[in-house]
Structure 1
């Protein structure tokens, strides 16, 4: 086993747990006939984070070309995976407890959700920088605009209780992820 594979085993396990958490949450929604009312924005975030987890695992393969690994960089990669898991854990609660429905839960956890998403976005920028200057520049100006716009939207979403704004944000993030995947990461080299 080469060093990259050894290092990425733990990160892959964490991402696998995130995907498992999301899928178990969706399965519980399907199985429970008396479940509280769903909220489309919340459900879309769950789908988006499922795609994001798959994409994260895919794009980390480019780290296999990284010549030198340090313990600090290893901690960074593991922390990045943990952030993704925490986002998924916030999105899919084990129980709704005192919440009337998923809409009430979503808005009660919006600060945590968007705070973690903001940290994840900034980790993404650092991760791209760690992959080398040519990789970072190769992402193009659209990537940098995307990071800036996403950051502003997440900061506003932490404060906003507007259902329309949150609907816009999740659809914008879905479009952004789709564009970034097919523009920059459709095929690994």
Structure 2
């Protein structure tokens, strides 16, 4: 046992710093990929659905960093909680890496790449939905009481849509999914997470 027991806020700051490192790597990966597209627009054919998911994931990462501040109120920290949060951040990094791999030379462009790797991407995206649910429960009843029945509806809907996205190559479905998903996430954040007070 340490000579000076750490308080919950002390542990939270330590965990938040480590999560921040992983989230920072994810944001860097996405921004570097976008800059590469801007710098070399004729090098690889872009795909609006791919760009839509890049923007969605950037928003998710910023949102993740914002909403995890509620963990400062967690009364007791366990290693399992710490491990869960690090795994959550790692899953978000994997999503970033799936969107911008080191090379897509084996593909004709981002459309071919995205559709070919969609099973990996949407499997991990579905994992973030499950992890978000567990994360919400960890924060306690006072936290998830902030949400309406809408939250408990959105979780299964997202999982079903991810399942369809894994199975389907229909370009219209993928465009509709990312468009509506991005708009919904913006709406959700504005309605529920604009302030932490």
TM range (shorter): over 0.9
2:171 and 2:43 mapped to 1: Cα distance?
Answer: 21
Counterpart of 1:146? 154
Q: 1:161 aligns with which of 141, 166, 169?
A: 169
Q: How many residues align?
A: 189
Counterpart of 1:135? 143
* 1:179 CA drift (Å): 2.0
Q: Which runs of 4+ in 1 moved over 3 A?
A: none
Counterpart of 1:71? 79
State whether residues 87 and 113 of structure 1, in contact with CA within 8 Å, keep that contact through their aligned partners in structure 2.
yes
Q: What 5-or-longer segments of structure 2 have no aligned partner?
A: 1-8
Written as runs of structure 1 = structure 2, the 5 A alignment for 1:54-69 is 54-69=62-77
Residues 69-107 of structure 1, C-alpha deviations (whole Å, 9 max, x = no match)? 000000000001001010011011221121001100000
Q: 1:104 aligns with which of 112, 132, 141?
A: 112
State the TM-score, normalizing by the size of structure 1. Answer: 0.97
Q: What 5-or-longer segments of structure 1 have no aligned partner?
A: none
RMSD: 1.1
State the TM-score, normalizing by the size of structure 2. Answer: 0.93
Counterpart of 1:126? 134
Q: 2:51 aligns with which of 22, 43, 65?
A: 43
* 1:59 CA drift (Å): 0.5
1:151 and 1:114 mapped to 2: Cα distance?
Answer: 9
1:133 and 1:8 mapped to 2: Cα distance?
Answer: 22
